[in-house]
Amino acid sequence: MSDLSHFDAAGRPRMVDVSGKPETRRSARAHAFVRIAPEVLSRLPENPKGNPLEIARIAGILAAKRTAELIPLCHPLPLSHADVEVTVETEGIKVVASAATNAQTGVEMEALTAAAVAALTIYDMTKALDKSIEIQQLHLLEKTGGKSGDFRR
């Protein structure tokens, strides 16, 4: 069985042991898109729950910091950076989350969790205006560092 398996020899789930891996700088960026009707987008400034974009940014950053509490077997990491950018586009809101650390394992899950939670927060804060909002295109954009090297979509 691979050293990177999330299962032990008996097939039971386990956290991967990364203690033998060197600490290196690692970063990741993830994307999500919240499809919202143009008429709802135009009403964001008067949203009854407040500014969903800034609340989503904060929610995403907090989620990145708590990823190990949400994803079973995910390593808790000392993040040196976490950020979420939200951009209003013609068909909705683009979310790009980033995370970085110097650690023995990567931060892809932190970036993906940040993007997902930011998108969910936008939905939560705008659902009173439109119930047909969709969260789409959650995926990793890029990651750097580690044994497997760099990845770019």
Out of 17, 124, 130, 150, the active site residue is 124
Element (H, E) at 27: strand 24-35
- The rounded distance, in Å, linking the Cα atoms of 130 and 39 is 10
- The rounded distance, in Å, linking the Cα atoms of 144 and 97 is 14
- The two tokens of residue 70 are 């949400």
Q: Mark whether 124 is an active-site residue.
A: yes
Fill in the DSSP letter of residue 128: T
Closest C-alpha to 146, from 106, 117, 93: 106
In contact, 153 and 141? CB cutoff 8 Å: yes
Q: Which residues are catalytic?
A: 124
